[in-house]
Every structure is written in structure tokens, then in C-alpha cells.
Amino acid sequence: MTKRAPSKRSGAKVTPPEKSATAPRGARAPKTGETAEPAKAAGGSKAPGGSKAAGGTEAAGGGSKAAGGSKAAGGTKARGGSKAAGRGKAAEPAAKAAGTAGAGAKAARPESHLGMVRRARKINRELAEVYPYAHPELDFRNPFELLVATVLSAQTTDLRVNQTTPALFAKYPTPEDLAAAVPEEVEELIRPTGFFRAKTKSIMGLATALRDDFGGEVPGRLEDLVKLPGVGRKTAFVVLGNAFGVPGITVDTHFMRLARRWKWTESDDPVKIEAEVAAIFPKSDWTMLSHRVIFHGRRICHARKPACGACPITHLCPAYGEGETDPEKARKLLKYEKGGSPGQRLNPPPDYPGRPAPPLGAEA
């Protein structure tokens, strides 16, 4: 006759069936009101309901750690869940941040042509406030002197030319005088400017052309100027803009460098740069734009180490960071009046805030 199992209400113990020795999972059921005290099974594991599983794994149930947070037998990390997963969770915010940054980078649009034009014109306006005294940095008293000085300025500084031309013009004040000069004497006078033999040939040749073809006067047209020996578009625009008031863009080494840094052009051809920049600005701005850009390139935005930390237009410059960004260190890189040293002209304009350059051989 089959015995009936005692009722749970009686409070009697319920004896579970014996388990196989190969899978010891049993522990007595707690009495009513008694706190369960899980028995340790083989391998130190708890059974379901809060006990340790074999190898130290906590199984599901009763507040135990489920897969995805458990440790595998022998202290190894469990598949799909373990410290590696924990680290993955810890790295999740960084991954999200990286994703956000990536999304932001994707969202950034390249500058439109119209945006570049607006930024370029703003740079010109702000440079006008920084350099209200911008001017050609060659000393001259007439178109002839400016023409000769500009030819001599190739491959040297305006300072060196300004220190050399006083003696040259004192001896040869007119095209006729220079055209009739002894070449060796001219070479000796202009030796400090470098390449003095080639330069002597150029300035004596242009003096001869002015005497013979233009009545001893410097022509005021681009097409005439570029026919003279040693005179290219850059030299011609310097003369036209500063001696005749004809607008022109002077694409020298400083202008080329800054136009590329500011993304006004991607070309390295002076003629193409001139055309592309001319399309950005009104013609009336061309001459003074040239002076401002060249001033900035000589004083702050240097070729090898721009003084980015002391630049007043960093908010408009896509190349910010190419040079020194520390303000204190950047200030030490400033030149001429911005750095407290003499300028390049021996006879600068009255509104120039810096000191005049010293004569050749004199101490600064």
C-alpha cells in the first residue's frame, strides 16, 4: 500500500529522493521559518537557489550570479560573461564617445567656396586693424628708384636693399646715369645684395631700355614693364601699385605661403595664385591686401615656425597649430615692430610705429 506524503501544513520534514553521487546537489529543505544554509557540494560549488556550482561558479537563482557575470571552473573566465565582459561594459562609454566623435567628424562639412571668400575678406579686414601702417618696405623717392630696388630685392631682404641703394642712387640718380655706368663699379656697390653680377646686368639693362624706349621714364603699364630686363609680374605690380596707384597683387614668397595656409588657393604657381586671389577680393583692395599679407608673413606667420600663439587671427586660420601655440614662447618669435626690433626701412613712413633700420654697417 502506498504511503501518502505528509502535508506541508504539518511542518514535517520532506525527505527528497537520494541523488547520484556523481551529481551531489542535495541539501535538506529548510524548516518553516528557518534560514536556508546551503551546503557545499563537490568542488566547493553552490547548488541552485544560491549555492555555489562546481568550480566556484554561481548558478542562476536565489540572487546568485548568472552567466554573464560568473567565473568558470578553475577560476577561468566564463564564456559570454566574465571580467572580459565587465571590461567591455567599462569600455562601453568610451566606445559611445568615440562613436559620437566619429559622428561629429562626419557631420563636419568642408568649407564652401562662399564660406572661404567670406573668411578671406574677414582676414583682410582684421589685418587692416593689426597693420594700419602697412606699406612697401623698400625706400624710394620715385618710380625709377622703386623699380631698381625691387629688382635688387630678389633673393635678399628689403633691409639689405635699403642699406645698399643710398650709395647707388647717389652716384646714378637717373636711368641715363645708370645706363652709362661702368659695370664693375655698379657690381661693387650692389655686392651686399647677392648675385651682384646678374643684378648689375638687369638694372643696367632696364636703365638702357628706359633711356632708349621710354624717354627716361618708367612706364605705367603692365605690358610695358614686363618687357624690361629683370622685371616680372611681381616687380611690375609693386611699381604699379605703389608708384602709380594702379591696383595689383604682389605674389612674393610670403604671399604665396599665407595664401596656401589660409586655403585661398592650392596652387604653387604665382600667376595662378594671383588670378585666384584676385577673384576673391575687390580690385580696390589688391595693393593694400598685398602689403598686409606680406607684413603678417614677415612678422608673425613665418615659414618655418609661425608664432600661432601670438597671432590675432587664429580664429580664422585653418592652419592654426602648425607653429608655436604657447603665447609666451610665440611672442619671442615676433619680428620687427611686433617684436620690438627695428624695421626694414631706413626712412619709414611717419605713421610707422617701429624704429628705423640702421645704415649699412651700423649697429641696430
Retrieve residue 277's grid coordinates: 586671389
Report the distance separating Cα 286 and Cα 263, nearest Å: 18
Q: Catalytic site residue 252?
A: yes
Which of 139, 158, 252, 285 is catalytic? The answer is 252
Please give the torsion angle defined by the CA atoms of residues 78, 81, 82 and 86, in that order, rounded to the nearest 10 degrees. 170
Closest C-alpha to 146, from 86, 83, 225: 225
| Alpha carbon distance 243, 254 (integer Å) | 21
**C-alpha distance from residue 173 to each of 168, 187, 220, 228, 259 (Å):** 8, 16, 19, 18, 37
CA dihedral 246, 248, 250, 255 (to 10 degrees): 140
Question: 326 catalytic, yes or no?
Answer: no
Q: Which stretches of 108-190 are DSSP H helices? A: 113-130, 143-152, 158-171, 175-179, 183-190
Give the amino acid at 240. Answer: L
All three cell numbers of 36, joined, read 536556508
At 95, which helix (H) or strand (E)?
helix 83-107
3-state secondary structure of 203: helix
**Contacts of 244-247 spanning 24+ positions with Cβ under 8 A:** 244/143, 244/220, 246/220, 246/222, 247/283, 247/284, 247/285, 247/286, 247/287
58/9 Cα distance (integer angstroms): 32
What lies within 8 Å, CB to CB, of 208 at 6+ separation is 175, 179
Q: HSE on the CB side for 193, CA within 13 Å? A: 29
* Active-site pick, 52, 199, 234, 338: 234
Where in the sequence numbering do the catalytic residues fall?
A: 234, 252
